[in-house]
Amino acid sequence: MTVGLLFGTLFICLLIGVPIAISLGVSALVAIYFGTTLPLDIIAQKAFTALDSFPLLAIPFFMLAGILMGKGGVSKRLLDLATVMVGWMTGGLSLVTITACMFFAAISGSGPATVAAIGGFMIPAMVAKKYDGGFAAAVTASAGSIGVIIPPSIPFVLYGVIGSVSVGSMFMAGILPGMLIGGVLLLLSFIMSKKRGYKPDTVTKVNFKDLMKAVNEAKWALLIPVIILGGIYGGIFSPTEAAVVAAVYALIIGKFVYKELEWKTIFDGFLEAVVINATTMIIIGLSVSFAYFMTLEQIPGSIANFITGFSNSPVIILLTINVLLLVVGMFIDTISALVVLTPILLPVVTSVGVDPIHFGVILVANLAIGFVTPPLGVNLFVASSVGRVKFEKIAVAVIPFIVSMIICILVITYVPALSLWIPSLFN
């Protein structure tokens, strides 16, 4: 009965459009009140203690770093570098967009932030060059999802905290899978652009002089992932301290080097980071309360027994989990899904020999597709907003990109070395 109350209330709340964080909290509240003798204030206690975590401090600072980079001229210089590298190819603007998103992903750690920073420039530019608006927005939204896979990644921080997995190892594990997805998106975009007759952005092929000039202009931005990952693996600072370093670095570069950050812009950036982080922390807190109650009722164990009873084959179990995650990503945001599903699924996969680091990449990569799958599709809404393209048009245009990303997920799932090779070099 208690389990029915929990999930029944959650389903009803989602059905009538209640925000996911409130839905999770209300579900736990109803289940506790009607199904147990526990005090109701345990929800608040669990939500508060969940946020009392030093590693979680990395999230607001990575958010702030990404926002300041976007406002401080970094995204423009990354776009210039990407243009020199791939702008001369067929469908150059779409390739520039994907390449720039990969660069920015190594700074922001956020999918929607990547879409907002790059899409604000590139979607109008592609439309002006006669690219289909839906295609332009779909390219940007899809490439933006790489922001949660290429390090630093906010979901990797959260997974590391929940699953007691090294955040630094998760960052390293995301490099090759992120590059794989980016490379496949580049290939697909090139093929589609060729079929549609989209022209190159520039007529001159890349030459060493122009490339070095663009690299020099973007050098301060390109140093950020080097500082973050180098500092973590060099033992200089923790992932949380790396996030603070990134935020301070972004402020200094935007204000005193590129000189594009005004004091008002800085204030607006801090305010935006506070608002986004407040929302995120509410989601995390109430998600933990929901997950705690599930653990109390032994729901994760029951689900784990069901899945392993269905099959003991890692291949079948991982395929089943992939399908589950793709469906969940369509309706629940990444943060909530990570908090709720990690305690359920991690024991299942480790029981059949799957490495927790590998599974973290599988989990986050699957949920990353949720950024571009309706009805939630946060990246689609951001791309629609910054590019002024109808959501319905983007939702149709993004289908080929979703299919290509699912293929990448299968490769990531069944080729563990893709995720584990780089972390193994540092063990």
- Rounded mean pLDDT, 318-329: 90
**Beta-carbon-side half-sphere exposure of residue 135 (alpha carbons within 13 Å):** 22
Give just the sign of the alpha carbon dihedral 60, 66, 67, 68: positive
- Return d(Cα 258, Cα 207) in angstroms, integer: 25
Q: What is the pLDDT of residue 204?
A: 64
Q: How confident is the model at residue 137 (pLDDT cuts 50, 70, 90)?
A: very high
253-265 pLDDT tens trace: 988 988 888 899 9
- Is the pLDDT score of 177 beyond 90? yes
Predicted confidence at residue 203, as pLDDT, reads 58
Per-residue pLDDT tens digits for 409-424: 999 999 999 999 999 9
Of 386, 363, 337, 367, the closest CA to residue 113 belongs to 386
Q: CA torsion, points 62, 64, 67, 69, in degrees to nearest 10?
A: -70
Rounded CA-CA distance 8/129 in Å is 50
**pLDDT recorded at residue 299:** 76
pLDDT tens column, 226-248? 888 888 878 888 888 988 998 89
Q: What is the mean pLDDT of the chain?
A: 86
- Calpha distance 48→42 (Å, rounded): 10
Would you say how long the chain is, in residues?
Answer: 427
Does residue 304 register a pLDDT over 80? no
Dihedrals φ, ψ of 319, to 5°? -65, -45
- Per residue in 263-288, pLDDT (tens digit) is 999 999 899 888 888 888 888 888 88
pTM score, whole prediction: 0.86
The mean per-residue pLDDT over the stretch 314-340 comes to 88
User: What's the CA gap between 156 and 393, in Å, rounded?
Assistant: 31
CA distance to 369, 372, 404, 405, per residue, from 143 (Å):
10, 10, 12, 10
Residue 305 predicted with pLDDT over 80: no
**Domain locations in the chain?**
41-425
Helix 74-86 with 111-128: angle, nearest 10 deg: 60
Lowest mean pLDDT across 141-145, 191-195, 286-290, 373-377? 373-377
Are 139 and 186 in contact by the 8 Å Cβ rule? The answer is: no
Extract the tokens encoding 33. 């009140």
Closest CA to 26 of 13, 42, 45: 13
Q: Report the pLDDT averaged over residues 379-391.
A: 85
Q: Residue type at 70?
A: G
Cis peptide before 152 (omega within 30 of 0): yes
Average pLDDT over residues 202-222: 79
Report whether 95 contacts 186 (CB < 8 A): yes
Task: State the pLDDT at residue 139.
Answer: 94
Of the candidates 367, 291, 382, 359, the one whose C-alpha atom is nearest the C-alpha of residue 327 is 367
Given a cut of 70, whether residue 145 has pLDDT beyond it is: yes
Q: Determine the Cα–Cα distance for residues 362 and 366; give it in Å rounded to an integer.
A: 6
Per residue in 29-48, pLDDT (tens digit) is 888 888 888 888 888 888 88
CA distance 279 to 101: 24
Encoded tokens for 190? 């090139």
The residue type of 270 is F
Which tens digits make up the pLDDT trace of 83-124? 888 888 888 889 999 998 888 877 776 778 788 878 887 888
Read off the pLDDT band of 184 (50, 70, 90): very high
Q: Of the spans 33-47, 296-310, 390-404, which averages the highest pLDDT?
A: 390-404
Amino acid at the residue 323: V
Reply yes or no on whether the pLDDT at 366 is more than 90: yes
Supply the pLDDT for residue 286. 86
The sign of the torsion formed by the CA atoms of 304, 407, 89, 394 equals negative
Q: Which whole number is the average pLDDT over 39-65? A: 84
Mean pLDDT of 10-31: 86
Q: What is the DSSP string of 104-153?
A: HHHHH--HHHHHHHHHHHHHHHHHHTT--HHHHHHHHHHHHGGGGTSSS-
Q: Which two tokens stand for residue 4?
A: 């029915």
pLDDT at position 365: 95
Does 326 score more than 70 pLDDT?
A: yes
pLDDT of residue 202: 66
Residue pair 6/38 in contact by the 8 Å Cβ criterion? no
**What is the arithmetic mean of pLDDT over 311-316?**
85
Distance, CA of 375 to CA of 279 (rounded, Å): 20
Contacts of 139 by beta carbon, 8 Å cutoff, 6+ apart: 94, 97, 98, 126, 185, 189, 401
pLDDT-wise least confident of 11-15, 294-298, 353-357: 294-298
